Chains A and B, each alone.
Chain A
Amino acid sequence: MDTVRLEFLLSRYFDGELAPDEKLELQAMLLADADARRQFWRNARLHGALRLHGEQAWGERAAHESGVKIESSVLPSRAFSLTNISRWSWFAIAACLIVAVGLGFMSLREAADPNAEKLANTGNVASDPFLAIVIDQSSDTRWAGKDAPRGLGHALGRGRVRLENGEATLQLDNGVELQLRGPAELEMMSVDHGVLHRGQISARVPEQSIGFRLDAPGVNVVDLGTEFSLAVDGTGQPKVHVFKGKVRAGLPSMPESRTELNTGESARFDVALGKVSRGTEDPALFPVLEDDALVPHTTGDVRYLRRAPESVQAGTFEHDSIMVFEEQANIALPEEVIVLRDASNQQESSELSIPELVTLPSGTRVRSYYVHFDRVGRGMRDVESKGSITFDRPVLGLVIPSKTLKQTGSWLAHAGTSYELNGGQPLEMRFMGTKSHPASPNTSGRYDEVHLSEDGRTVTLDLLAGWVADQFRVLVEARPAQ
């Protein structure tokens, strides 16, 4: 046996560099000689150990860069036996840890994301330059302008956008929902402040965002805890209507014009004459914000899309929000499906925790939701996004492993959506992994977590996206037929 040649070929193999003829040569050596096979395992053990060590070092470095202090005694690189693994999370997922998805996927992503290099090291969601996501839009919607969102699921940041036709619902990062009706021009100054230059808009402001301000040319409207609407046409007389709660509105040039409007009240502001007329306005002027208790409620970085997007392929979206959409409203599973489920939140537990597998029998009626998290760019740093989504009925289980994701995709995938493919496989999250820091999930920069609340209706997400998009399904009990 030519040991020097064997070493050379093994080295090429472990670096993924074998040429076809070298592969044949190595395989012949391995098949022919037991010593060559033993040498293979000798080198393989080191290769495996180096990768494991590298993963831990990367996690340690990520934690250090994020300013998190990690007790050295809990770092796996120094303490590796089971008794020293501080805790396992049943849904700890190495989506970012196993960084390389393959050059094919990386190329795909770069091609789809021309800003990849520019945005490569954006780091985390705090650097996401966008203020709002389009969570719904009518089929006749037409956006225009260089800062305009590209459609459903896309984002908009500071700047002026034109909605030439249709209606769109935007969700701002502070939880404010805006219903914009075209033709309209909206300029977002910040997450707390927008200017409607023309068109009609309604705003629903959650309690934590009271003080949200929406201006029309010559008019300020400040929310005092409410749902209100603003209509701007070419007459120079913006109109304000309060659906619920209270706003303070006025002409900034005339402090005495400032007035408070309460539920059901309207006012018209004549900017040229400096005159405020309270009265009744045509309700048709003001877009209606949908208030459906059956729509899942989200918090944090999670956005619920009211309809399925055209694509969830890698690089489609240019923001770092976790998006969820309904794929099927009520469907009977044609085969049994193994799902992952857990009824307890293990965040603070130091106990060994293992995924609970549940078999949903064939015929189980489910509503299917798809979770998609794909960060901007493909730099070295992971992006972490967190939040929760609460459904009106109990979650039956989560479909995470690639095999089950693929199995269920044939029945549950939304017909109008193009899903992620990577070498014929959907991308997915990973559900086994170690935690290297007990108190701060994901601060190692390595694992994703999904937890179910005790009542089974709220899914809490703490996801890290590296080069791999996190994607999985949530199966919820179907609503009874009406």
Chain B
Amino acid sequence: MPSQDQISLVQRLFVQNTMALRGFVLALMPDFSRVDDVVQETFLTVTAKADDFLDGTNFRSWVFSIARFKVLEALRKPGATVLSLDAEVIESLCATEIEDWHADEQLLALGRCLDELTPQARRAVELRYEQAHRPAEIAQRMGWTVNSVNVALARARAALRDCVERQFNHEVT
């Protein structure tokens, strides 16, 4: 059983990295409803394996590797793979060197970039990410075709991604 100090250390670091972790899991599991399950399971494992973490090493890398296993575990459950990528693809993606994700700064930039979207595009993004609607539901609510929603979301995301990266790079430099 890990010492209480070690448990406290990893749990504190977990809390500090939760946003980035949730973003990581969201990328691998497009179904929003499953993300918190994986984050919960990761938290429990991090606590149970607290002794495996060495203070001063890269916590985020450690917790992401645990989360990756939890994602793969979740995807093995019946009906879970429909929207998700296969395990070998996820392994391959996770083997790719991932740039450190500064979630807080990116969110601040995102808030500003959303203001630059057209009202209709903003509405589609809100319905998708705030209300968790799928494109078919968004189409129904906006009186659009599903294809129009798909295009609008794709364009909005591309514009936002470029805007956020521009702002973030500007702030960093």
Contacts and interface: CB of A to CB of B under 8 A. Distances in A.
B66 interface: no
* A contact residues, range: 35 or more
A151 interface: no
Interface residues of B, number: 69
Interface string A271-284: 00000000000000
B93 interface: yes
A17 interface: yes
A58 B36 contact: no
A49 B23 contact: yes
A17 B82 CA distance: 10
A468 B33 contact: yes
Contact of A43 (B24, B31, B104, B157): B157
A354 B106 contact: no
B31 A102 contact: yes
B15 to A, nearest CB: 6
Contacts of A31: 88-89, 92
B37 A16 contact: no
A45 B30 contact: no
A23 B164 contact: no
Contact of A44 (B26, B37, B83): B26
Interface string B20-36: 00111011101111011
A360 interface: no
Given A11-B154, A27-B89, A41-B93, A51 B43 contact: no
Interface string A24-48: 0011001100100110111111111
A26 to B, nearest CB: 8
B77 A380 contact: no
A255 to B, nearest CB: 59
A423 B33 CA distance: 12
A98 B29 CA distance: 13
A471 to B, nearest CB: 13
Interface string B141-173: 000000000100110011011001100000000
A42 B161 contact: yes
B44 interface: yes
B27 A37 contact: no
B85 A30 contact: yes
Interface in A383-425: 401-403, 423-425
A352 B114 contact: no
A101 interface: yes
A130 interface: no
Given A37-B92, A41-B96, A52-B19, A100 B39 contact: no
Nearest to B20: A48
A465 to B, nearest CB: 14
Interface in A35-94: 37-38, 40-55, 57-58, 61, 77-78, 80-82, 88, 94
Contacts of A11: 150, 153-154, 157
Contact of B15 (A12, A46, A80, A354): A354
B104 A80 contact: yes
Contact of A99 (B78, B79, B132): B132
A7 interface: yes
Interface string A420-461: 000111000011111000000000000000000000000000
Contacts of A359: 1
Contacts of B39: 432
Contacts of B58: none
A306 B32 CA distance: 37
Contact of B32 (A80, A98, A424, A431): A98
Given A102-B33, A401-B37, A424-B79, 4 more contacts: A41-B93, A352-B12, A431-B40, A432-B18
25 contacts: A11-B154, A17-B134, A27-B85, A30-B89, A40-B27, A43-B161, A44-B27, A45-B101, A48-B101, A49-B103, A50-B110, A52-B26, A58-B130, A78-B108, A80-B19, A82-B16, A101-B33, A338-B44, A354-B15, A357-B44, A359-B1, A423-B80, A432-B39, A432-B40, A434-B18
A-B residue pairs, 5 tightest by C-beta: A48-B23, A44-B27, A54-B129, A80-B104, A54-B130
Interface of B: 1, 8, 11-12, 15-16, 18-19, 22-24, 26-28, 30-33, 35-37, 39-41, 43-44, 47-48, 77-80, 83, 85-86, 88-89, 92-93, 96, 98-99, 101, 103-104, 106-108, 110-111, 114, 125-126, 128-132, 134-135, 150, 153-154, 157-158, 160-161, 164-165
